Structure 1
Amino acid sequence: MSQNYSNHKRFYPLFHFTTIPLTVIGLGLAVYTVISIPNIVTGLIALAFILILLVALMARMFALKAQDRAVRAEEKLRYFILTNKALPTELRMGQVIALRFASDDEFVSLVDKAVSNNLSPDEIKKEIKNWRGDYHKI
């Protein structure tokens, strides 16, 4: 299945549809238990669920930041190969991430347009005519 604007968002089912919902449900039950049976054990269980949720969210955030850095490096190199110039520093990270979907034919002109018109990442994605799928970032 080829990617396009309408289907490019990716989910990792084990994280998005299992880990986070179960942790939130567990936290809710732990908080309910702390309220109905307040003691040290139920408080520690609630604290454990809070920590599990925080660790899961931080792990996801750290993974996304590492992927974003890789995307920025790839797009800087691609821009340099295509133009023999450095990628404009005015681009925000979200813009660079959105530009990764543009084909080489429209990449440089979209970079210029994103800088001059301060396009949002969503606007950049909507401008892309020849979508270049990113099947590795999740």
Structure 2
Amino acid sequence: MPFQMSKTQSFQNHAKYYPLHHFVIMPLVLVFLGWSITRTNFDNPQETSNSIYFLLLGFSLLLVSYLPRIYALKNQDRIIRLEMRQRYFYLTGTPFFDKENQLTSAQIIALRFAGDNEILALIEKSILEKTAPKEIKKSIKNWKADHHRV
């Protein structure tokens, strides 16, 4: 039987973890970096050289394992902006640009989860009250699930 995702998504369960990244690669890299830091020794040139080598390797591994995640999330944010522009135009017949310029990226991303029947009111409320993204998500009554997020 293939893996099936939960059909009901809400504020409480919308956070997503990628097990290989979050529970294998990053912990291993952080353990290696921590080990490298604790074993630093600058007593003689050979130990100094080894310490610098392992510190650079640890930081490089951290960057190499973390940057692809950042790139994926940035790309996802751009796609969400495009989706919100399309949804807003579909619902109102007007461009989203004016509203978009009054919202933060985090607010737009939070609003993405609102159903079509409440998104326009939440956009206005978010602009007027400068609502925090977490509060926007908590106030959504008709949650629009997204099981394809990174």
2:55 to 46, 52, 57: 46
Per the alignment, residue 16 of structure 2 pairs with 10
Per the alignment, residue 34 of structure 1 pairs with 40
Return the offset for 1:36: 8.0
Return the offset for 1:35: 2.5
Root mean square deviation, CA, Å? 1.5
Return the offset for 1:43: 2.5
Return the offset for 1:49: 1.2
TM-score, with structure 1 as normaliser: 0.93
Aligned length: 138
1:22 to 11, 16, 28: 28
Give the letter aligned to residue 43 of structure 1. Answer: I
> What SS is found at the alignment partner of 1:104?
coil
Give the letter aligned to residue 8 of structure 1. Answer: H
Q: Distance in 1 between matches of 2:23 and 2:133?
A: 25
2:136 to 112, 124, 132: 124
Q: Distance in 2 between matches of 1:61 and 1:136?
A: 16
Q: Distance in 2 between matches of 1:30 and 1:120?
A: 39
Gaps of 5+ in 2: 1-5
Per the alignment, residue 76 of structure 1 pairs with 85
Per the alignment, residue 137 of structure 1 pairs with 149
Q: Distance in 2 between matches of 1:14 and 1:35?
A: 32
Gaps of 5+ in 1: none
Return the offset for 1:55: 2.0
Return the offset for 1:33: 2.6
Q: Distance in 1 between matches of 2:20 and 2:119?
A: 34
Return the offset for 1:86: 1.9
Contact 2:32/2:58 (<8 A) preserved: yes
Q: Distance in 2 between matches of 1:95 and 1:123?
A: 9
Per the alignment, residue 109 of structure 2 pairs with 97
Return the offset for 1:76: 0.8
Structure 2 residue 130 is matched with structure 1 residue 113: no
Return the offset for 1:85: 1.4
TM-score, with structure 2 as normaliser: 0.86
Return the offset for 1:42: 3.9
Q: Distance in 1 between matches of 2:135 and 2:39?
A: 46
